Amino acid sequence: MSQRIVLFFSFLGLITLHACGPNYIVNEKRDIAAGAWAYADSLRFEAEIPDTSTVYDLWLSLDHSPDFEWQNLYVQVHTLFPDGRRLSSPLSLELADQGGVWQSDCNSKRCRFRVPIQEGAWFQQTGKYVFTIEQYMRVNPLPGVQSVAFQIVDTGKTKEEAMKK
């Protein structure tokens, strides 16, 4: 009997832990070969958006060397919409503050930087979106970049709820 109780509570705990985490539409990471991000190494992420009334948060994460030479990193984010329309936006990732202190979680081998690139967003069309991220610095290849991750999180809110705030 006690074994069944332990099993039940273990199962209940797993369900609870799973239910409490973010609801990712996309949660993908791309490693950068040899830790040097070249212009030719554009990173492609696909998302199937099922609902135009849901609010999403879009995040970009970057692992870089603690010896990275720059305080910021420019990327170009290209979005291909389901209807074929394209949109491109440059984005500056401020990796360090004015004093040179990393805004990342660092250890001796890597720093992990995570930033929202769009919060409280909703999509105007359902269907497949393609996000392409390119390094947009003056150095090619860019040394010290180890990986890039892209996340789209379903916030559990609707755009009507978001617009009331």
For the stretch 63-78, pLDDT in tens is 999 999 999 999 999 9
CA distance 57 to 154: 7
CA distance 27 to 35: 21
Secondary structure element (H or E) that encloses residue 160, with its range: helix 159-164
**What averages of pLDDT result for each successive group of 10 residues across the chain (165 residues)?**
47 47 95 96 97 97 96 97 98 94 93 96 97 98 98 94 80
Contact (CB, 8 A) for 35 and 142: no
Residue spans of the domains in the chain: they are 23-164
pLDDT of residue 2: 53
CA distance 163 to 47: 24
Q: If you average pLDDT over every residue of the chain, what do you get? A: 90
pLDDT of residue 9: 46
pLDDT of residue 16: 40
Which residues, 6+ apart, have CB-to-CB distance to 98 below 8 Å? Answer: none
pLDDT of residue 137: 97
pLDDT of residue 64: 97
CATH number for the domain formed by residue range(s) 23-164: 2.60.120
pLDDT of residue 7: 40
